Amino acid sequence: MTITSLEAVAVRVPVERPTRISTRLLDKRDYVLVRAGRDDSPDEGIGYAYAGTSGGAVVAEAVNGILAPLLRRWPGDDIVGAWDAMYQETLLHGRRGAVMRAIAAVDIALWDLAGKRAGLPLAVLLGGRTGPVPAYASGGYYKPEEGSWTDAVTREIEDNVERGFTDHKIKVGGLPVAEDAARVAAAVEAMQGRGRLALDANNAYRTTADAEAALRAFEESAGATGLWWFEEPLSPDDVRGHARLRARCRTPIATGEIAGSRWEFRDLLEHGAADILQPDAGVLGGITEYLRVAAAAATFGLPVAPHWHANLHAHLAAATTNTLTVEHFSLSKDIYNFEVLVTPETRLATAEGCAVVPDRPGLGFELEEDVVRAFAI
């Protein structure tokens, strides 16, 4: 009952129309796919992580060159022990960034394999259930070819509503504050008095004062509707800055998507730097570490709103009691394009503003092997 195979491949999925957030151009996405096998099962576990726009080969090499040799012949049921061994082995190489994403992809593959061996969806294996979990429509990226900034946001919110979503998130921080404030006003108007609007700055503002001034303008544009949360206004390392901003503003502050472990989340919790934590299982070391972070957040009375990876996070939302919502991207937006690699029939379903946790074993999706081969780096 040991792990006998563990292998990673990096894939690069192009974005058809390059787009921007506040801090960078997005023209492609690198993902790392990990396959895990055991000597007592014909099943194959699939894990994955996002590696930025150019880091896929680095993350895959961390899996194949460091983690796979360590875990071959490891007891197949000892996933938590495997996590600790991987972390200890890579102390000199990582603790965050590419190596932690490699650990994440392996850990997710081992949990997927455990679910498949048990014949249970991951959510059920972890003590939750299948079915709908709250989700919101994410987007609002900067796409100049789609017309004026306000018209583009209006059309996107209207499309979200047609798809059944009432809650939304758009980007800010990539334009002068007045222009972003106009986009916020357009989004609120398109919502027609229903649902909630969150804003994501992607670390755009350099000082707490700059972030506060921008947020005041956005709050004014949102009017009586208000803002659901203000996400990552400052550098992810500026824990005290987030705490100061949180103390000064009425809009909840959300952060954590780039936090690389439970210890970074401990700093956010101890300094009171967030109203909402946004762990990403593909960033912070996988499912094992995500569950630790979600439990710590619950201890402090905080909700979590996981970042990206709805195919995975829908399961984790169903298995934790303090998940506020799951971030969802329609594949047609060509922003978060992981599901290009997934067979159409096993892509994550949505209904009435919810992500629907599948009842298939493990993560519940299958890879489109021809597409994976076509995009392999």
The neighbour count for residue 271, using CB atoms within 10 Å, is 15
Residues 173 and 318 in one domain: yes
Residues 73 and 206 in one domain: no
Q: Please give the radius of gyration of the chain, using alpha carbons only, rounded to the nearest integer.
A: 20
Residues 131 and 101 in one domain: no
Residues 229 and 320 in one domain: yes
366 belongs to a structural domain: no
369 belongs to a structural domain: no
The parent domain of residue 77 ranges over: 3-119
DSSP H or E stretch at residue 178: helix 177-191
Q: Are strands 197-200 and 276-277 parallel, antiparallel or unpaired?
A: unpaired
What SS3 class is residue 180? Answer: helix
Residues 79 and 38 in one domain: yes
Distances, alpha carbon 71 to alpha carbons 107, 115, 318, in Å: 11, 19, 29
Please say if 116 is a catalytic residue.
Answer: no
- The tokens of 65 are what? 């060159």
CATH of the domain at 283: 3.20.20.120
Give the type of residue at 59: V
Residues 161 and 305 in one domain: yes
Full-model pTM: 0.97
Residues 114 and 181 in one domain: no
373 belongs to a structural domain: no
Per-residue tens of pLDDT for the chain, all 377 residues? 899 999 999 999 999 988 989 888 899 999 999 999 999 999 999 999 999 999 999 999 999 999 999 999 999 999 999 999 999 999 999 899 999 999 999 999 999 999 999 999 999 999 999 999 999 999 999 998 889 999 999 999 999 999 999 999 999 999 999 999 999 999 999 999 999 999 999 999 999 999 999 999 999 999 999 999 999 999 999 999 999 999 999 999 999 999 999 999 999 999 999 999 999 999 999 999 999 999 999 999 999 999 999 999 999 999 999 999 999 999 999 999 999 999 999 999 999 999 999 999 999 999 999 999 999 99
Number of domains the chain contains: 2
Catalytic entry in 116, 169, 171, 328: 171
Please say if 309 is a catalytic residue.
Answer: no
Residues 157 and 97 in one domain: no
371 belongs to a structural domain: no
Residues 185 and 289 in one domain: yes
CATH of the domain at 112: 3.30.390.10
370 belongs to a structural domain: no
Catalytic entry in 307, 309, 328, 333: 307
Residues 295 and 186 in one domain: yes
State which of 119, 139, 162 marks the end of a domain.
119
Residues 128 and 115 in one domain: no
